[in-house]
A = this chain, B = another copy of it.
Amino acid sequence: PSRASISVSAPARPAVSRLPRGALRLPRAASPLRGKASSAVRASAGPAGMPSVAHREVARAVAGEAEARLGDRLLPSAVPADVAEFRNGDGTALGSLDVRRGAPGSSIDFMLQSSLHCKVPNGAIDITSLFINLNASTDAPHFVMEFIQGSPTSMVVLLDLLPRKDLALHPEYIEKYYGNTEADKQRKIIEELPQARPYLSPSLFVRSAFSPTAVFFTIDCGQGGESVLEEIVHGHLASVVKGLLQIWLGTCAGDTSEVDEGEREIMVKRDRTVRSKSIEVDLTANLPRMFGPDVSGRVIAEIRKAFGVEEA
């Protein structure tokens, strides 16, 4: 039975997105605890009531590093308050979304962070995402990071420099962004963990869209493995995410090579296809079940706006 009929009304919230950037930074010790609602929470930390999860701390640190390095190439946050934080009617599902557009003249299209927490019969699901997309001034890969944690001992990791060209047609693109950058060394760090096994998306499209060095793994630490997972997340995983972000910041975000006019047209169409498909696969399939149609409709509309794939 679908939960889509649950009536949801999101509480009104202050527009965190319009606060000056510095005001949003809180030292970790000052993180709001459950029940102590505060608007001064960065989106990646999640709204009040969102429990602390190791992977979310790593995501927050990485997002902070990206923001610091990109500096004024990012505009201030620009999502309505009822999308910056949202929840379902009975409070069993919480979410946050933050979108910062790229500044005019920069190669950044947008940076999107989101956090979801959803209670389920036997526990909770926590999903944390960070996408930093470039615009059509460059054909360099986007940065993609997603953690999906379905239990305290296991999670799925998706990390990639998402290609924007047909790799089989462009071996020089593979060489530039995946060979020369040694991105595969990062993937291997996770591959070599005894708790890791390759993750294959059920979506054939998702499998097709990612790069040959994509870090796609299930990390399963087995019964009693809560602290092992936390150690891996704060150790190997944090290191790999930071390593890939450094590659992306150095080689992709700063890329200034010209894009051929004809190739740009194909690339823009390709980007749009990948974004539409990822919304279809990732969000429209899941968010309504978690948050009901009203909230999820609002959130998805905002993501569509960021992705530039608004529905007709």
Which A residues contact B (CB, under 8 angstroms)?
A: 163, 166-169, 171, 174, 178-179, 184, 198, 200, 204-205, 207-209, 211-213, 266, 269-270, 273-274, 277
User: CA of A211 to CA of B163 in the docked complex: distance in angstroms?
Assistant: 16
User: CA of A13 to CA of B269 in the docked complex: distance in angstroms?
Assistant: 54
Interface of A is mostly: helix
**Closest CB in chain B relative to A203 CB, distance in Å:** 8
**Residues on B with beta carbons closer than 8 Å to the beta carbon of A208:** 167-168, 174, 211-212
Least CB separation from A187: chain B residue = B200
**Residues on B with beta carbons closer than 8 Å to the beta carbon of A200:** 198
**Residues on B with beta carbons closer than 8 Å to the beta carbon of A274:** 168
**Closest CB in chain B relative to A258 CB, distance in Å:** 20
Question: How many copies are assembled?
Answer: 2
User: CA of A184 to CA of B207 in the docked complex: distance in angstroms?
Assistant: 12
Query: Contact check: which of B169, B198, B269, B273 meets A273 at CB < 8 Å?
Result: B169
**Residues on B with beta carbons closer than 8 Å to the beta carbon of A178:** 204
Q: Are B207 and A270 in contact (CB under 8 A)?
A: no
Least CB separation from A164: chain B residue = B168
User: CA of A4 to CA of B174 in the docked complex: distance in angstroms?
Assistant: 30
User: CA of A211 to CA of B166 in the docked complex: distance in angstroms?
Assistant: 13
Query: Contact check: which of B179, B205, B211 meets A167 at CB < 8 Å?
Result: B205
User: CA of A205 to CA of B168 in the docked complex: distance in angstroms?
Assistant: 7
**Residues on B with beta carbons closer than 8 Å to the beta carbon of A273:** 168-169, 171
Q: Are A184 and B167 in contact (CB under 8 A)?
A: no
Query: Contact check: which of B179, B204, B270 meets A184 at CB < 8 Å?
Result: B204
User: CA of A270 to CA of B168 in the docked complex: distance in angstroms?
Assistant: 7
**Residues on B with beta carbons closer than 8 Å to the beta carbon of A166:** 166, 168-169, 270
Q: Are A171 and B266 in contact (CB under 8 A)?
A: no
**Closest CB in chain B relative to A168 CB, distance in Å:** 4
**Closest CB in chain B relative to A269 CB, distance in Å:** 7
Q: Are B270 and A171 in contact (CB under 8 A)?
A: no
Q: Are B212 and A171 in contact (CB under 8 A)?
A: no
User: CA of A200 to CA of B169 in the docked complex: distance in angstroms?
Assistant: 20
Query: Contact check: which of B169, B207, B209, B212 meets A204 at CB < 8 Å?
Result: B212
Q: Are A207 and B198 in contact (CB under 8 A)?
A: no
**Residues on B with beta carbons closer than 8 Å to the beta carbon of A171:** 205, 273, 277
**Closest CB in chain B relative to A217 CB, distance in Å:** 11
Most buried by B among A171, A208, A274: A208
A174-B204 contact, Cβ under 8 Å, with A166-B166, A273-B168:
yes
**Residues on B with beta carbons closer than 8 Å to the beta carbon of A198:** 198, 200
User: CA of A220 to CA of B179 in the docked complex: distance in angstroms?
Assistant: 29
User: CA of A195 to CA of B144 in the docked complex: distance in angstroms?
Assistant: 33
**Closest CB in chain B relative to A169 CB, distance in Å:** 5
Q: Are A209 and B179 in contact (CB under 8 A)?
A: no
